[in-house]
Amino acid sequence: MNSLTAAYETCETITRTEARNFYYGIRLLPPAKRTSLCAVYALARRIDDIGDGTLSPADKTTALAGLKAELSDIDRSADPVLLAVADTARRFPLPVGAFGELVDGVQMDLTGTRYDTFDELVGYCRCVAGSVGRLCLGIFGSRADPHASEYADALGIALQQVNILRDIREDLTNNRIYLPSEDLHRFGVRLSLDAKGNLVDRDGGLARFIAFAAERARLWYERGLRLLPLLDRRSAASAAAMSGIYRRLLEQIAANPRLVYDRRLSLSGWQKATVAVRAMAGVS
């Protein structure tokens, strides 16, 4: 086994093990695209793991800066994940600079950035998720359309909004607040946890805000899903499966915002598999 083959196998193992949601869509791709998207995921995962790991904030910042420097000269790296990403960039029009945006977004988490407006939050989402959407598009390919990259970006931003709504309680536990302060003020929400660590919502303002934010995320989905007709059948199925899992979560949150007050919502394995099968059949 040569080093490049081993590098791709490392990335596939990381993706199969860690990508609980995305692997349902990734495995619908033909082999060349599947292995390359696994390389993209493995590097994105490494960046996220630095931000969520046990290093001190200063050491995390150093690690992120070091990785960003490696990305600037990726063809010289012997690291298996970077080796696979570099090869992928030679075979596909991969916007490698988008990984730098992801690094910037993780750094925003480390500095505890708060967001006054939704537009500011969109900027963060574009870094941590829109970037991944554009990286995926580099692997998928698309028919010529000047808006294809915008649609991929919007789909990533939609997914991140679902993550934020699902994880309000967990993020607050970790002293992270992504919800725009102007929205919280508009709905009269003061985020807090009760003695059991569950979200407090005495007058229903939080539920009303979540319902509002879920509808806003749905509109971003509508724009992002315009990408699917521009893709080949298997790439469209992959994108539909990956985004479809989060869409189902969004539907649950919109129907009952209080579901996120005391748990982290997720779909069962069979529900995820059903989304993937429907995506492959072209059913949304």
User: Do 42 and 173 belong together in one domain?
Assistant: no
The whole-number pLDDT of residue 281 equals: 62
Per the domain annotation, does 259 fall within a domain? Answer: yes
Total domains in the chain come to 2
pTM of the model: 0.92
Residues 44 and 80 in one domain: yes
Residue 44 belongs to some domain of the structure: yes
The mean pLDDT value for 273-280 works out to 72
CA distance 177 to 164: 9
Please say if the pLDDT value at position 2 is more than 80.
Answer: no
What does 201-216 look like in DSSP terms, one character per residue?
A: -SSSHHHHHHHHHHHH
Instruction: Kindly state whether residues 125 and 35 are assigned to the same domain.
Output: no
Is the pLDDT at 284 greater than 90? The verdict is: no
* Segments forming the whole domain that contains residue 46: 1-93
Report the C-alpha gap between 173 and 135 in whole angstroms: 31
**Which residue did the predictor score with more confidence, 21 or 280?**
21
Is 100 inside any structural domain?
Answer: no
Which is more confident, 112 or 218?
218
How far the first Cα of the chain sits from its last, in Å, is: 40
Same domain, 159 and 269: yes
The 10s digit of each residue's pLDDT in 217-245 is 999 999 999 999 999 999 999 999 889 88
Last residue of a domain, one of 93, 127, 153: 93
CB of 105 closer than 8 Å to CB of 47:
no
Per mean pLDDT, which range of 10-24, 41-55, 56-70, 227-241 is the poorest? 10-24
Residues 4 and 144 both lie in one domain: no
Same domain? 35 vs 73: yes
State which of 93, 127, 158 marks the end of a domain: 93
